[in-house]
Amino acid sequence: MQDTIARIRRFRDDRDWKQFHDPKNLAVSISIEAAELLELFQWKTGEEAGRYAAENKERVAEEIADVAIYLIELADITGIDVEEAIRSKLEKNAKKYPVERSRGISTKYTDLK
Amino acid sequence: MQDTIARIRRFRDDRDWKQFHDPKNLAVSISIEAAELLELFQWKTGEEAGRYAAENKERVAEEIADVAIYLIELADITGIDVEEAIRSKLEKNAKKYPVERSRGISTKYTDLK
Amino acid sequence: MQDTIARIRRFRDDRDWKQFHDPKNLAVSISIEAAELLELFQWKTGEEAGRYAAENKERVAEEIADVAIYLIELADITGIDVEEAIRSKLEKNAKKYPVERSRGISTKYTDLK
Amino acid sequence: MQDTIARIRRFRDDRDWKQFHDPKNLAVSISIEAAELLELFQWKTGEEAGRYAAENKERVAEEIADVAIYLIELADITGIDVEEAIRSKLEKNAKKYPVERSRGISTKYTDLK
């Protein structure tokens, strides 16, 4: 992971792009790239999307990478450790979605009984 | 990273949520979470966003984690190694954005001179 | 429509919000509101989404309104007539998607045969 | 407006696309098009975005139209009158954002003092 972060930094700094990469612009870019990823599955059913992903792994990998690059960069400039943030969020989510009440149910926690 | 993937899988499988997590639904969720991250910076200037992120690191970390969790899960179910995908995309981007032509310029590669 | 635009302007100007509503911030807000609309259908199948929309018309109407308000405001401050823009775009789309080649097919025009 | 709705319906029905246009797929498409609109202003300051919009009115009009078309279609199939929904939402927002407490301030209503 440290090596990945270093590569992302180097790519940005070689081009002197840090001046554009404030948290807001990075969040904007994450949303734009997320939509490009979503576009791969536009109009498809869940099943068709699964088939498409299996047959177009490289295309999906590229769009995932685009989101991930800006996400890692945003975490990096704000001093956030992504893997630690994930662990901590999963623990929080575990309280919001207790296993016994959320098993097999996709309901949002605010509507859980 | 393997440990992070294992935690995400366990969280999902404990709740029997794999049935909902096809590539399309995960891409939809990535977009939704990306927008929640962006909402933190809504109406702010780049500078104000930087200040907000510094003062609200935990809030930003949580939203980054939400995007990252679904992104890692999508990569996992489609057999994609996120870090390899990033390396490979950075190499591709390096060709689209040659250092000498893109330094200090935020222009999209299709419009680069 | 003119009355709707006038109401949106008045709401904004009564609060002296024009200073925040530049085209970029409005586009950011359109994306955020679009994601809130999408969240209503998160994890649902197309059929379930149809049922949800029928049973929660007011909720859906509110989220549609949130997107529409910022969209109309963006058009207004850039001097764009939304209905004229729609007519003109439908004509352009009609050339990209000729009836005989796109009937019953959801393929993107760049991939149409 | 009735004429605009009729044109949107005709475009869809000539191509037999109603089968794909359930509320979820339309909400997905609204998000995708919203991101394409946002991409026009990616990396720009608010001021630069204003200049760009003035100089590229047709480009902006096309992206606004793309969002509007799917939004109007979603409202149409769920029996929602967009202009009525806007009026009703503006009234609701007026209560969430009282003039005297929100003037000149971009704070979200949940954080308003």
User: Which residue has tokens 């200037």?
Assistant: B45
pLDDT at position D61, please?
A: 98
Q: What is the DSSP letter of B83?
A: H
pLDDT at position A10, please?
A: 97
Residue D42 confidence (pLDDT) above 90: yes
pLDDT at position D30, please?
A: 98
Of C51, C72, C66, nearest in space to C4 by CA: C72
Measured CA to CA, the distance from residue B31 to residue B27 in angstroms comes to: 6
pLDDT at position C50, please?
A: 97
Question: Chain C contacts of D86, Cβ < 8 Å?
Answer: 4, 7-8, 65, 68-69, 72
Question: Are D46 and B43 in contact (CB < 8 Å)?
Answer: no
- Spans of chain B below 70 pLDDT: none
Determine the residue of chain A that is closest to B14 in CA distance. A99
pLDDT at position A112, please?
A: 77
Measure in Å the smallest separation between the Cα of D106 and chain B Cα atoms: 7
pLDDT at position A85, please?
A: 98
C9-26 average pLDDT score: 96
Torsion angle of C-alpha atoms A57, B92, B8, B79, degrees rounded to 10: 20
Q: What percent of chain D has pLDDT over 90?
A: 92
- Average pLDDT, rounded, for chain A: 96
Residue D47 confidence (pLDDT) above 90: yes
pLDDT at position C52, please?
A: 97
pLDDT at position A109, please?
A: 83
Torsion angle of C-alpha atoms A64, A70, A75, A79, degrees rounded to 10: 150
The 3-state secondary structure of chain C reads: CHHHHHHHHHHHHHCCCCCCCCHHHHHHHHHHHHHHHHHCCCCCCHHHHHHHHHHCHHHHHHHHHHHHHHHHHHHHHCCCCHHHHHHHHHHHHHHHCCHHHHCCCCCCHHHCC
Question: Chain B contacts of A77, Cβ < 8 Å?
Answer: 53
| Residue spans of alpha helices (H) in A21-56 | 23-39, 46-55
pLDDT at position C27, please?
A: 98
Question: Chain C contacts of B38, Cβ < 8 Å?
Answer: 28, 31-32
Question: Chain D contacts of B45, Cβ < 8 Å?
Answer: 45-46
Which of C4, C15, C86 lies closest to D99 in CB terms?
A: C15
Question: Are C47 and D22 in contact (CB < 8 Å)?
Answer: yes
Q: What is the pLDDT of residues C63-104, one digit of tens each?
A: 999 999 999 999 999 999 999 999 999 999 999 999 999 999
A95-101 average pLDDT score: 94
Measured CA to CA, the distance from residue B61 to residue B66 in angstroms comes to: 9
pLDDT at position B86, please?
A: 98
Strand residues in A1-113 grouped as ranges (E): none
Strand residues in chain D grouped as ranges (E): none
From the centroid of its chain, how far is CA B65?
9
Of B14, B38, B29, B32, nearest in space to B73 by CA: B29
Q: What is the pLDDT of residues C24-38, one digit of tens each?
A: 999 999 999 999 999
Give D56's pLDDT tier (boundaries 50, 70, 90): very high
User: Residue A65, Cβ neighbours under 10 Å: how many?
Assistant: 26
Give C41's pLDDT tier (boundaries 50, 70, 90): very high
Q: What is the pLDDT of residues A28-67, one digit of tens each?
A: 999 999 999 999 999 999 999 999 999 999 999 999 999 9
Name the neighbours of B, counting chains with at least 3 Cβ pairs within 8 A.
A, C, D
Residue C113 confidence (pLDDT) above 90: no
pLDDT at position A111, please?
A: 80
Residue D112 confidence (pLDDT) above 80: no
Q: Provide residues of C within 8 Å CB-CB of chain A.
A: 28, 31, 35, 42-46, 106, 108
Q: Provide residues of D within 8 Å CB-CB of chain A.
A: 20, 25, 28-29, 31-32, 34-36, 38-39, 42-43
A5-20 average pLDDT score: 96
Residue C112 confidence (pLDDT) above 80: no
- D43 residue type, one letter: W
pTM beyond 0.90: yes
